[in-house]
Structure 1
Amino acid sequence: MANYTDGNTSVCGLIGNPVRHTLSPLIHNMLAEITGINMVYVPFEVPQGNVPEAVKGALALGVRGLNVTIPYKSDVIPYLEDIDPLAKGIGAVNTLVRTSNGGFKGYNTDMTGLYRSLLDEGVELKGKIVVILGAGGVARPAAFLCGSKGASKVYILNRTFERAKDVAEEVNRALYEYNNNEPMTADGLSAEGEPTDIPSIVVPMRIEDYRNLFELKEKFVSLQCTSVGLFPDVNSAVVEDKEFYEHVNVGVDMVYRPIETKFMKLVKESGGKAVSGLKMLLYQAIDAYELWFNNDEDAPSEKINITKEQAEEIYRSLVMEVTGARNIILEGFMGSGKTTVSEILADKLELELLDTDAAIVEAEGRSINDIFAVDGEEAFRDMETALLETAVSEHFRDMVISLGGGLPLREENRQLLGQMGKVIYLRTKPETVYERVKFDDSRPLLKSDNPLEKIKKMQEERGDIYELSADYIIDTDELTPSQIADRIIQELGIDI
């Protein structure tokens, strides 16, 4: 997606190291398009030790706002003019917003994004028991968020108990300072030197003692804050015991590659609600975007408030990107149902539809029969290749693409398809194809005294090639077009 830029274009971006595989540009540039704001978002990879120069340079260049990712979420704090209380309590910022004094104020939308993703799923933290798996970098801010939103108890389970204990003490102390709006001395006294009543909301626990949680009188919210389950370790979960998941009402996995982790599958199998960390990624970006464009004199006359429907549109694009299905591409023999199924898919997923045959006919201003008769089949195949090359060079995305039956035959085309998205082969028996197309005289390759034998011969020639280029194969003979579309959505994991 390319935004139009001119002398009035605002620039926002991301600083971190590394940043080359970030999904943030996809989210923010879609937000700019949806809201009609003249803005582009770009990642900036900042070498270690250059954070002060990066902040100073962004201010000097008029960068409107920045996101901050690892490893600089704490390093950037000394170079800010101000910091939001929640970010201060968490001890990390991920969003910088320009102030009227010409500096940056730091916010933490990672955690507000997590909270917003929970609310989006109908989950409120107030009065709930929360179980956090892991005591790493994500666990501390997650525990602080839960405590600040009124969770009755937050358990941190970790293999190293001392680490869980340290995090629990840090968060309980930070919650006291946040709730009382006053700092605490190193030895636990108030600013006036009085003893403080530090809350004990956050409780450390050895992960092997998780069965003790079964004695709780209510189901809990579980936040999976480790890297276990991250691709390629897709068949692992921190806790494998299915009994644990019977006590989980809602499970959120901070990992979002794969889109459905082993942890999430176990939650679902036990009847709980599973939420991908991709939702948190989306909403932290939305919160940052709203902060950038709702907070100064240049803000739009109407406050930006991204709707649930708009968020879902972006989320679909994120899921397709993460699963590698930035485009859904249907291949198969004539009569396999590509045209009808592609229309249903595009409607269900609210995606643009591209039929390669129809696109070539429109560009040429003549039918495929005419192209074959005048220029020959090879010229038509060249047109197909040129169309794919355009799709790759222009970064086509969020499309359902229905391919002409012969398009995948060229190796060059198959390589281009691999760059464009996920290819689904709609496999259909020759007899089914014949029944569907026997009265269609627009098929130049079926000009034969015995069309069924021609179909069988062509399928024998093409079947292996279709399978070679396919990411998924769906046998269509016993399925309706709508059922085929649902199967594709299920296979790709984009049923949201």
Structure 2
Amino acid sequence: MKEIKGTTKLCGLVGNPVEHSISPLIHNNLSKLKDIDMVYTTFRVEDEDVDSAIKGAYALGIVGLNVTVPHKQRVMESLVAIDPLAKAIGAVNTLVRDEKGFKGYNTDILGLERELMDEGLSIKNKTCIILGAGGAAGAITFLCASREAKKVFVINRSLDKANSIKEAVNAHFNSDIVEVLGLDEYERIEDNDCLCIQCTSVGLYPNVEDVIISDDAFYKKLSAGVDIIYNPYRTRFMKLCNKAGKKAYNGLKMLLYQGVCAYELWTDTKISASECQKIYTKMRAHMAGNIILIGFMGSGKSTFGKWIAKHKDMEFIDTDDYIESKENMSINEIFETKGEEYFRELETSVVKELQAKLTNCVISVGGGLVVKPENQKLLANMGKVVYLETPKCELIKRLSSSNNRPLLKDVNLSDRIDELMEKREEIYKKAATVKVDTANRDFEDMYKDIINS
């Protein structure tokens, strides 16, 4: 737990709702990486309280704020200055402390542009479809026009809001690049390789089955889809894109990069690509919500994992059991008939398979699975990796009667444990998000170490 002092700086997120946000994860981990004494939290603010909240935040000495739905436009009335780009877009998502109040910026488009670059998606000469007409939709429409899109269609229920975006962007660029369509008018789009960006809150958790357009024919017009929602990790919009054979991406990287831009404005620092990747890995793990138990054979991964699953309403999966079920033979039989190298490749393929489909699970992995660097990276993206640290004397006690461990066959148990631990212990520690000492502790106490890390 970070020590909060009288000199600790404060930033935060203003919106409604904000409880679901993972922005605190981004900014508090950035401060940890950069060794900056600053904390970030969330502030739920009602529509009628936006002005008083912003002025109060300035009076309290808050360094900076992010602004999310539904306040990205309303907040502009409470600012002493607005960056020209944000003014042209007509929406603000970042506030930076100035001499007499806050100055507004828009880092949404910078975040999305960087995500598109990461995924190899280009706007230039592309027909772009924007679903929605809120603050994010306005910013992204502006981005598409500024990056030489062939045409931009804004599709929305309310044509008035969509037309406001159209008029602002077309006037700014002195063109007719933006056209407005109703939800049932997408057939007027002639191209069949459009880049579609879903900018509404439709489909946001807990309403995960909602989607703004459900017609399969719409998705056949796309080359790729990007949903700025990141919770759930795979939205129904993304599933419909995939069903039509199109690639789909969520808004997690956009959230990361717009947050990084805001953080750099508040702290006058630069965040490196490697630091961004570290934060993104934490974000991926957080969204998955899995607990991955690693450690030496006999450390109690399966027993503790089943206890967590039972008492914390999670599913339990043991990778060794999963492999035995897929191969229809025991681990011993796999080692004897196909060899250890074959088994290690099986482990990697299983981790890849589980990564793609598991959330809110406790996963116990084989003792040797973590040794492979590729597996370490996969596990880091799946959830919180927990190393169960167990004394050698306890391992000997638990393993002395075991006859189903191929690496312990026909060897001196104590010597074999020493040999394997010498190879693996530092790997376990490096791969772990949190280390849990299992010696003489009950499961509830051990679980607290995980949730408090």
Residue 465 of structure 1 aligns with which residue?
none
Matched residues in 1 for 2:88 and 2:213: separation?
Answer: 29
Residue 292 of structure 2 aligns with which residue?
328
Distance of aligned partners of 1:332 and 1:398 in 2 relative to their CA distance in 1, 3 Å threshold:
closer
Q: CA deviation at 1:288?
A: 0.6
Distance of aligned partners of 1:236 and 1:355 in 2 relative to their CA distance in 1, 3 Å threshold:
same
Contact conserved, 2:155 with 2:162, CA < 8 A, in 1?
A: no
Matched residues in 2 for 1:46 and 1:242: separation?
Answer: 38
User: Secondary structure, in 3 states, of the residue corresponding to 2:28?
Assistant: helix
RMSD (Å) for aligned C-alpha atoms: 3.7
Q: CA deviation at 1:403?
A: 10
Contact conserved, 1:94 with 1:107, CA < 8 A, in 2?
A: yes
User: Secondary structure, in 3 states, of the residue corresponding to 1:338?
Assistant: coil
Residue pairs, 1:361-372, within 5 angstroms: 361=391, 367-368=393-394
Residue 278 of structure 1 aligns with which residue?
252
- Pairing partner for 1:356 from 382, 388, 394: 388
Which deviates the most, 347-356 or 259-268?
347-356
Distance of aligned partners of 1:81 and 1:120 in 2 relative to their CA distance in 1, 3 Å threshold:
same
Residue 417 of structure 2 aligns with which residue?
none
List runs of 5+ in structure 1 lacking aligned partners: 180-197, 295-302, 373-396, 422-496
Which deviates the most, 349-358 or 410-419?
410-419
Residue pairs, 1:229-308, within 5 angstroms: 229-294=203-268, 303-307=269-273
Which residue identity lines up with residue 340 of structure 1 in the other structure?
G
Matched residues in 2 for 1:234 and 1:27: separation?
Answer: 24
Which deviates the most, 105-114 or 200-209?
200-209
Matched residues in 1 for 2:444 and 2:123: separation?
Answer: 53
Residue pairs, 1:307-326, within 5 angstroms: 307=273, 309-325=274-290
Residue 324 of structure 2 aligns with which residue?
none
Matched residues in 1 for 2:437 and 2:124: separation?
Answer: 51
Contact conserved, 2:91 with 2:136, CA < 8 A, in 1?
A: no
Q: CA deviation at 1:29?
A: 0.7
Q: CA deviation at 1:20?
A: 2.8
Identity %: 39
- TM score, norm. by length of structure 2: 0.67
Residue 367 of structure 2 aligns with which residue?
339
Residue 40 of structure 2 aligns with which residue?
41
User: Secondary structure, in 3 states, of the residue corresponding to 2:41?
Assistant: strand
Q: CA deviation at 1:231?
A: 3.5
> Residue deviations 1:265-305, cap 9 Å, x none?
332344433110222211111111111122xxxxxxxx514
> Residue deviations 1:205-226, cap 9 Å, x none?
233332332x32x611101233
Matched residues in 2 for 1:278 and 1:202: separation?
Answer: 26
User: Secondary structure, in 3 states, of the residue corresponding to 1:229?
Assistant: coil
Residue pairs, 1:163-182, within 5 angstroms: 163-164=158-159, 166-179=160-173
Asked which structure has the greater CA Rg, the reply is 1
Residue 207 of structure 1 aligns with which residue?
183
Which deviates the most, 275-284 or 54-63?
54-63
Q: CA deviation at 1:155?
A: 1.0
Q: CA deviation at 1:174?
A: 1.5
How many residues in Structure 1 have an aligned counterpart in Structure 2?
353
Matched residues in 2 for 1:233 and 1:20: separation?
Answer: 15
Contact conserved, 1:3 with 1:39, CA < 8 A, in 2?
A: no
- Pairing partner for 1:141 from 139, 142, 162: 139
Distance of aligned partners of 1:400 and 1:151 in 2 relative to their CA distance in 1, 3 Å threshold:
same
Distance of aligned partners of 1:227 and 1:21 in 2 relative to their CA distance in 1, 3 Å threshold:
closer
Q: CA deviation at 1:251?
A: 0.6
Matched residues in 1 for 2:103 and 2:212: separation?
Answer: 37
Residue 311 of structure 2 aligns with which residue?
none
> Residue deviations 1:132-151, cap 9 Å, x none?
23345543333233223322
Contact conserved, 1:168 with 1:202, CA < 8 A, in 2?
A: no
List runs of 5+ in structure 2 lacking aligned partners: 295-300, 304-317, 321-364, 399-430
Q: CA deviation at 1:47?
A: 4.9
Contact conserved, 2:90 with 2:138, CA < 8 A, in 1?
A: no
Distance of aligned partners of 1:338 and 1:266 in 2 relative to their CA distance in 1, 3 Å threshold:
same
Q: Does 1:220 align with 2:218?
A: no
Matched residues in 2 for 1:154 and 1:335: separation?
Answer: 47
Matched residues in 2 for 1:200 and 1:335: separation?
Answer: 56
